[in-house]
Amino acid sequence: MVTRCCIAPSILAADFGAMANAVSQAEEAGAGAIHVDVMDGHFVPDISFGRQMVERLRLATALPLDVHLMVGNPARHIDPVVQAGASAVTVHYEAARGPDELAQLLTAIRVSGARSGVALKPATDSSVLAPVWGQVDQVLVMTVEPGYSGQAFMPEMLVKIRRVATQAASHSVTVAADGGIDERTIGRCAQAGATFFVAGSSIYSPRRTVAEGMTALQAALDVR
């Protein structure tokens, strides 16, 4: 069976003054989803978007909105972002107080009507997923430290992607890669087993158009 790959442009890297245009350009260029990073300034140093941005983006596109909660208290954000239009919500393993709370968060996401996801920081071993495979729809392997756009890809994370993909195969769970994804790294992540790719500065770049960035990524996937 051939699994269709999905490229999800990260709106965090777009021009904040032209978000609707950034989304429509990505949609026209073949994006499969729009990735939305929600940061609270506690779990990660920076502050980005919240419920209102998700709501605005929902009005701008019919594409799935893939919301990544980089927050210290994910439980309070789940219902608001889903009600605003999130199609999938990913919480960090590191933000949960143990596997029981993580399972509760994932269940809450599914009950709200969205797909559930778990993100792992680079230092977090994939073995922590063992108790929650039955509650998760997507695992997001961070290939940079979360919180900043434009960081360099960490090639040592390919081993983790491969390990997660092996574990996920028997659970029908999507494996995603996020951080430093460009035409040099996307094929390597796909070969390791990822099928969902979050790309920011390689798509929203002053050096080329959104369409050119998407075309480069899609071509790199086709020749892997």
Would strands 65-70 and 88-92 be described as parallel, antiparallel, or unpaired? parallel
Radius of gyration of the chain (CA): 16
In the sheet that 115-120 helps form, which strands lie side by side, from edge to edge? 6-9, 196-199, 174-178, 138-142, 115-120, 88-92, 65-70, 34-39
Out of 66, 79, 137, 178, which one is annotated catalytic?
178
User: Are the C-beta atoms of 147 and 44 separated by less than 8 Å?
Assistant: yes
Report H helices in the chain.
19-28, 51-60, 75-84, 99-112, 157-168, 186-192, 210-222
Residue 178 bears catalytic tag: yes
Out of 37, 40, 66, 182, which one is annotated catalytic?
37
The catalytic residue positions are 37, 178
